[in-house]
Amino acid sequence: MVSQDIREKTFEKAVFGGYDMGGVDDYLDEIAAELDAAQKENMTLRAKLKVLVEKIEEYRQSEDAMRLTLVSAQKLAGQIENDAKARASKILDEANTAAAKAYEKIKTETVVEQRRLMEAKAAIASYFEAARASLNRQLDFLDRLAVSDPMAEAKITEAVKSIESQADQMPAEPAPRIDFGVTMQDEAPAEKPEEDNMTRMFSYDGQN
């Protein structure tokens, strides 16, 4: 029902004791005016309510978008953190593995070089010991020769001086110089001085 319906409403005239038609019409006009005002206010309220509903929906959508953005940001941050941890762990593992390999390599090389050093020292000591023994045997031989043949004393004395001179010129045992580029297996063993070679240095007549 609208105000126009109220204004256009008609009533049959009563024969006896009816209402005043003018008063009824005035009252109907007043009611119609109030209804118009109420309807206008209702329309205004409906329009405002529609705007509020639209704003609320807009805010809700914005809130949902913000929530989704926040969730996405949190997921991305978590993924970045996990990736960084995994990368750091991988780098650390690789560094530890490389360090362990380098340590084992150095340790093995140290053991090998120490063994080669000991072998070199032993070879040098053996060489000098053999050389001294050979010289001592020659001196003993010359001593026995002097006893059996006094006429050869001068020659023997000369030979002894020559041997002693060579012994004096023999260098002291030097610190072994090791070529670390060659393994002991590749090195030729030190030759022991042969007694025959050392003995043949001097003949009975003292000639070299």
Q: Bigger pLDDT: 115 or 171?
A: 115
Say if residue 57's pLDDT is above 80: yes
Domain boundaries, the chain: 3-67, 113-199
Cα–Cα distance measured from residue 202 to residue 183, given in angstroms and rounded to the nearest whole number: 38
Cα–Cα distance measured from residue 42 to residue 36, given in angstroms and rounded to the nearest whole number: 10
Sort 176 into a burial class: Cβ within 10 Å, 0-12 / 13-18 / 19+: middle
Query: Would you give the DSSP letter of residue 177?
Result: -
Choice among 2-6, 33-37, 156-160 with the minimum mean pLDDT: 2-6
Position 63 scores a pLDDT of: 83
Cα–Cα distance measured from residue 152 to residue 78, given in angstroms and rounded to the nearest whole number: 104
Q: What is the mean pLDDT of the chain?
A: 75
The pTM score is 0.37
The tens digit of pLDDT for each residue in 124-178 reads: 999 999 988 888 888 888 777 766 666 556 666 676 677 667 666 665 555 445 4
